[in-house]
Structure 1
């Protein structure tokens, strides 16, 4: 599996953002931004970055230090800087995607409603301080968006996912919300659901980043 590299990306204004990335061994298909979970760039995030690079994508995750106190401004600023880095590496706008899980899943939906990507994917997600509620933004996504959520095996969780599907259906771009009965928001309690979510992620990017 490909290795990761960490750099401090410097902008013309002198500010820097730490980025960790992995490059594909073969032909470059495009670029993916991975938005990490609340604990930062964990081993799980690094595995995701390397796995996506193994599928042909230049994959990069920004180190966003705000964690659970993440604001929309922090998130969009870090995303914009990461997109600058991808542009510098020759990745065109329609070949750029964003993906996140857990906290990053919520962040990916927020980004998909404020920035134009070729495709966006959220795996799980949760409410985060100062970020808009999911139902308020799902219908405003400007990038084709796939959301995959476990319902934790209860009626309340099931109803929330169905409400999110209805909200996303009003967007002017392609959306798909998939519910996994019994899976938790991190998908680590159901390996079968996790494997299927991974394949759906790859298929979504294959379909929209071209």
Structure 2
């Protein structure tokens, strides 16, 4: 069974960030950055890190600076995950810097930049979308990403404003019953993203809310769509 481990990455500001890592046992296909939601790095996320490694991806989940609305407990991301961070006024830029550091780490491990993908949930999905519009990566998947009309935090523009700037294939997965992300806003994002010059897909599940793991069938379909997206665009 594929195991996860925790490593430490040095950041440019002199602080350290913990990351959860899992490596494929066979051929390396590329690298994936897994960005958590407000639940932090928990058992569910660790399971996803391991599952993606089984599919052949060197997978790394940074223990991000707490996102807006984040909750913490003994088993989740803690302030010590960002050693030396005494509170960041601009959480958006901090998270983007964290993703940059992880991308460099993957390149140092032998992964080409165009073989790096991002998978983000909630606030992590917002960060992943922002990376897709402002950095050079291979492909991105966002699940339940809000901040479509109004920014979720300083340093991150509304996704609808960034959509035309998407520079890599992006897949958005949403639940129509998600009270945090109204259906009409998802449709506005779909329309805005249509102007991008890359492959775009927005998939909505009529009966699902913010969490897909509560419905096995929906979770299985969302998982397969995610794998297919990376299979198609990270080569």
Q: CA contact under 8 A between 1:125 and 1:185: conserved in structure 2? A: no
Match of 2:203 among 160, 169, 178: 178
User: 2:104 aligns to what SS in structure 1?
Assistant: helix
Q: 2:52 & 2:230 partners in 1: Cα distance?
A: 11
Residue in 2 that maps onto 1:50: 50
Q: 2:200 & 2:99 partners in 1: Cα distance?
A: 21
Match of 1:129 among 141, 149, 153: 153
Does residue 82 (structure 1) correspond to residue 102 (structure 2)? The answer is yes
Displacement of 1:129 in angstroms is 2.5
Q: CA contact under 8 A between 2:65 and 2:94: conserved in structure 1? A: no
User: 2:188 aligns to what SS in structure 1?
Assistant: helix
Does residue 37 (structure 1) correspond to residue 37 (structure 2)? The answer is yes
Residue in 1 that maps onto 2:215: 190
Q: CA contact under 8 A between 1:124 and 1:187: conserved in structure 2? A: no
Does residue 207 (structure 1) correspond to residue 232 (structure 2)? The answer is yes
Q: Which moved more, 1:14-23 or 1:52-61?
A: 14-23
Does residue 60 (structure 1) correspond to residue 60 (structure 2)? The answer is yes
| TM-score, scaled to structure 2 | 0.83
Q: CA contact under 8 A between 2:138 and 2:233: conserved in structure 1? A: yes
Residue in 2 that maps onto 1:6: 6
RMSD, aligned α-carbons: 2.0
| TM-score, scaled to structure 1 | 0.92
Does residue 97 (structure 1) correspond to residue 122 (structure 2)? The answer is no
Q: 1:2 & 1:145 partners in 2: Cα distance?
A: 28
User: 2:64 aligns to what SS in structure 1?
Assistant: coil
Q: 2:125 & 2:101 partners in 1: Cα distance?
A: 19
Displacement of 1:19 in angstroms is 1.3
Gaps of 5+ in 2: 70-89
How many residues are aligned here? 209
Q: CA contact under 8 A between 1:102 and 1:186: conserved in structure 2? A: no
Q: 2:67 & 2:11 partners in 1: Cα distance?
A: 22
Q: CA contact under 8 A between 1:153 and 1:182: conserved in structure 2? A: no
Residue in 1 that maps onto 2:83: none
